[in-house]
Structure 1
Amino acid sequence: MYQLTVRQHMMIAHSFSGEAFGPAQALHGATYVVDATFERPRLDDNDLVVDIGLATQVLGEVLGEFNMRNLDDHPDLKGRNTTTEFMAGMVFQRMADAIKAGRLGESAHGISGLAITLSESHIAWASYRGDL
């Protein structure tokens, strides 16, 4: 399986509901390093997994929906605990939709898997991976 990863980042604010979150129930911020890893069993006609430029651009556009925002105010996220794990799944779904819509080019339709990793720090990160 071939893989290619591109990286961006986003800065968000949010709060959590529930005793399990202790002091993180209060409004706080996070800066995530976001990796998108694209997988395919065979390279395309140009010997690529996906166009790096398009992948980086579209990842930036997807993250732009959340970047520099208070996620507590985002209409699609109301009532959710926007944990790192949850947000990895949200970014995954938006990137998967972008691939299916052809936003990463026609050859991206050969992508069979996608993984999104949000790193909160050098010691903590969460990922969501799925088949496409």
Structure 2
Amino acid sequence: MYFVKIRESMMIAHSLKHPFFGPAQNVHGATFVVDVTFKTTSLDKHNVVIDIGLAHKVVKDILSKLDYQNLDDLDIFKGKLTTTEFIARYIYDEVSLKVKSYFEGKISVSIKENPNAWAGFEEN
């Protein structure tokens, strides 16, 4: 399996309004390190998984809409618990939409929310 991994970061604020989340119910900030991995069993006609520059641009464009935002204030997340896992799925869906015309492999998203914890989403 071949792969290309893109790493970007973003700073967000949010609250997780449910007693399950204890103190995280309050507004708090996080710096997310986001890894998006593109995997395929074969290379394309240019002997690449995906153009790395294009993959960086796609990921940066998606994260730029969330960077320095309070996720609670964004219409797309109204009434949602914006857990790290949920945001990973959102990023996965957005990346998948943007690359579907030229990438046919598998995509996974991993978010490092602190030095000791990661969460993510990948397709089956």
Question: TM-score scaled by structure 2?
Answer: 0.96
Q: Output the aligned Cα RMSD.
A: 1.0
Describe the superposition over 1:42-86 as per-residue Cα deviations: whole angstroms up to 9, x where unpaired.
001111000000000110000011110000011010001100000
Identity in percent: 40
1:116 to 104, 109, 118: 109
Q: Tell me the equivalent position of 2:29.
A: 29
Quote how far apart the aligned CAs of 1:41 are.
1.1
| Structure 1 stretches lacking a partner, 5+ long | none
Quote how far apart the aligned CAs of 1:23 are.
0.6
Quote how far apart the aligned CAs of 1:18 are.
1.0
* 2:119 aligned with 1:130: no
In structure 1, how many angstroms separate the alpha carbons of the residues matched to 2:109 and 2:23?
A: 27
How many correspondences in the alignment? 124
In structure 2, how many angstroms separate the alpha carbons of the residues matched to 1:69 and 1:122?
A: 22
Question: TM-score scaled by structure 1?
Answer: 0.90
In structure 2, how many angstroms separate the alpha carbons of the residues matched to 1:79 and 1:52?
A: 35
Describe the superposition over 1:69-110 as per-residue Cα deviations: whole angstroms up to 9, x where unpaired.
00001101000110000000000000000012x4xxx3x2xx
Spell out structure 1 runs of 4+ moving beyond 4 A: none
In structure 1, how many angstroms separate the alpha carbons of the residues matched to 2:121 and 2:16?
A: 20
